[in-house]
Amino acid sequence: MEELKEITLASMPRIGDKAPEFRAVTTQGNIHFPNDYQGSWVILFSHPADFTPVCTSEFMTFASLESKFNEANCELVGLSIDGLYSHIAWLRTIKEKIEYKGMKNVEVKFPLIEDITMEVANKYGMIQPGEDNTKAVRAVFFIDPHGIIRTIIYYPLSLGRNFDEIYRVVIALQTADKFSVATPADWQPGDEVIVPPAGSCGVAKDRMENTDEDVHCYDWFFCTKKIEKEEILNAILKKEELSH
């Protein structure tokens, strides 16, 4: 039975799955997830416990960047297995007492979920028995406007997250969707993107003969094109109705 319990705790949804549904109490009221966020991208992220230094630095950073994520039609939702009153006390301490890397008087306005029963943490595989069986590791779930999990990043308890990368993932996923492309290693808006592989011998031949001036092919299976940074950001950095 103990072995079965560990397997259950370590389970997690996969990329492409529907985000597991739940209702929860948060520091911003009750939420029904992901239903309340239809039409928006969402970052659902967990942290091990309140009043911990790594988590404090992360929450201050997320709160400072919230408007930047919101401009990319992305909402933030945090989670900890601590209780609501602990959350409130911790967030008040952050605002009233903590100054870090030029950030001070930071008010966390996005929801922080109370998950004392660990129901949500278990649904999302945030409890890793090999790491600590009482704490949620630093998971980051990127969920699209249709409620589908598109990217998952896991960090151990000791490692703070890279927020430039988290933001880059949000922009890259939206770029891939809006322009029907893929993004290469270390991609940033304005860099070349990867066009879909040739679906026929004729298309492959045309590409290698450079009949499409906008496309540069390194070989028949690896072709890129330029999309200007302004075009990408103009398409992403605004609220748009969910396409059907």
Which residues make up each annotated binding site?
A: 138
Nearest to 175 by CA among 187, 160, 159: 187
**Cross-strand bridge partners of residue 182:** 194
State both tokens at 121: 């943490």
Rounded distance between C-alpha atoms, residue 58 and residue 54, angstroms: 6
**129: DSSP letter:** T
Q: What is the DSSP secondary-structure string of 135-182?
A: SB-EEEEEE-TTSBEEEEEEE-TT----HHHHHHHHHHHHHHHHHT-B
Q: Is 74 a catalytic residue?
A: no
Which tokens in the block code for residue 119? 């129901």
Amino acid at 89: A
What gap in Å lies between CA 204 and CA 184, rounded to an integer?
20
SS3 label, residue 82: coil
Of the candidates 220, 185, 222, 225, the residue with the CA atom closest to the CA atom of residue 205: 220
Nearest CA to 81 among 121, 42, 54, 45? Answer: 121
Task: Report phi then psi at 146, rounded to 5.
Answer: -95, 5
Binding residue numbers for substrate: 138
> The dihedral of CA 177, 45, 156, 163: what is its sign?
positive
55, 74, 217, 223: the catalytic one is 55
Active-site positions read 55
